[in-house]
């Protein structure tokens, strides 16, 4: 969820810089073809970052002591690879330390180890030095986004399940992202009306967290419909119709730069907008709605504080 929002920019820049020291800028190698080289993709995106998938591809791999696993982070949505080590609980995504890397280039289960937030072509590598079965998570999207690394003693043959998992990884990612198209087709309101979605998932808010999110403000069953036209005095309502990502509806005074705000900041500005004030819905979790009455003619752009810059979650209200 938390992308390279301005509020977190310094933490993310620091995380990216440190990630680079751990091999974060190195292009990941191809899938294992006989040599002990392993690549896992963290999430995925399509349609100009509108569709985001929240799984590791493949989610389970078996390696040997001394092998190195590379994770690739292709999306505008950040993810982490985080292993608990001796800790008993993961930090929440709102904890500022979640953005930062911890630990070194090896993992032996004695040290909390995390990539920090990585996105947009970065990568992360860990060499496993102790046999065991290790679960890891993305701090931003867990527990739905978890993976497992089984570490065998050095020299053990790799199981056939590795090849199946590696060969199926790209197809699994594509299948998850395709579910975003299903979600868009389930737009639940009258197209072109004053009720919009602030993000949606397959099945909308029902069910456990989906492996895909559509991170757009939409006013119809199409990714192209990101604006709504209303009249002075009309009320526009947004509902988060997703089950896996928070969003905000945030609108600045006309002509002002977009505000530097913590995405988790409380609501500001009330429910009437005349172009002169900052209005922020506060965090809209799954199923939550926000309504805003427009009292001035104009074209007004609003954004989601979580998904504005790298994921382009931006909408327009045209008031006539």
Q: In the complex, which residues of this chain contact Cu ion (CB under 5 A)?
A: 247, 304, 306-307, 313
227-230 vs 106-107, strand pairing mode: unpaired
Q: Quote the CA–CA distance of 258 and 250 in Å, as a whole number.
A: 9
Closest CB to Cu ion among residues 70, 307: 307
Query: Which stretch of DSSP H or E encloses residue 13?
Result: helix 9-19
Token couple for 278: 């900052």
> What is the CA angle 281-186-227, rounded to 5?
50
Q: Write down the least CB distance from residue 93 to Cu ion, Å.
A: 14
Closest CB to Cu ion among residues 65, 314: 314
CB 281 within 8 A of CB 250: yes
Q: Write down the least CB distance from residue 176 to Cu ion, Å.
A: 18
Token couple for 208: 């456990």
Closest CB to Cu ion among residues 79, 247: 247
Closest CB to Cu ion among residues 222, 285: 285
**CB-nearest residue to Cu ion:** 304
Token couple for 67: 């092998």
Q: Write down the least CB distance from residue 319 to Cu ion, Å.
A: 23
Closest CB to Cu ion among residues 70, 312: 312
Ramachandran bin of 16, using left for φ above 0, alpha for ψ from -120 to 50, beta for the remaining angles: alpha
Q: Write down the least CB distance from residue 271 to Cu ion, Å.
A: 20
Q: Write down the least CB distance from residue 58 to Cu ion, Å.
A: 28
């Amino acid at each position: 969820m938390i992308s390279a929002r301005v509020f977190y920019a310094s933490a993310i820049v620091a995380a990216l810089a440190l990630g680079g020291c751990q091999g974060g800028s190195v292009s990941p190698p191809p899938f294992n073809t006989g040599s002990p080289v392993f690549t896992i993709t963290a999430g995925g995106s399509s349609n100009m970052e509108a569709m985001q998938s929240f799984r590791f591809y493949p989610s389970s791999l078996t390696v040997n002591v001394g092998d190195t696993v590379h994770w690739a982070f292709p999306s505008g949505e950040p993810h982490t690879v985080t292993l608990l080590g001796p800790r008993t609980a993961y930090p929440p995504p709102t904890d500022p330390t979640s953005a930062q890397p911890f630990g070194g280039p090896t993992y032996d289960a004695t040290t909390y180890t995390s990539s920090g937030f990585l996105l947009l072509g970065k990568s992360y590598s860990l060499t496993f030095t102790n046999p065991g079965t290790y679960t890891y998570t993305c701090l931003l999207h867990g527990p739905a986004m978890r993976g497992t690394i089984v570490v065998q003693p050095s020299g053990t043959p790799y199981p056939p399940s590795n090849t199946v998992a590696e060969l199926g990884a790209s197809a699994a990612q594509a299948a998850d992202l395709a579910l975003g198209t299903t979600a868009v087709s389930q737009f639940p309101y009258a197209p072109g009306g004053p009720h919009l979605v602030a993000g949606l998932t397959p099945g909308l808010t029902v069910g456990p967290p989906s492996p895909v999110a559509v991170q757009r403000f939409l006013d119809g069953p199409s990714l192209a419909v990101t604006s709504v036209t209303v009249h002075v005095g009309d009320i526009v309502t947004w509902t988060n119709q997703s089950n896996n990502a928070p969003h905000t509806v945030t609108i600045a005074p006309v002509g002002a730069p977009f505000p530097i705000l913590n995405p988790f900041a409380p609501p500001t500005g009330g429910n009437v907008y005349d172009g002169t004030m900052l209005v922020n819905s506060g965090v809209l979790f799954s199923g939550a709605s926000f309504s805003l009455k427009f009292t001035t003619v104009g074209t007004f752009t609003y954004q989601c504080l979580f998904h504005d810059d790298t994921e382009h979650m931006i909408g327009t209200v045209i008031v006539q």
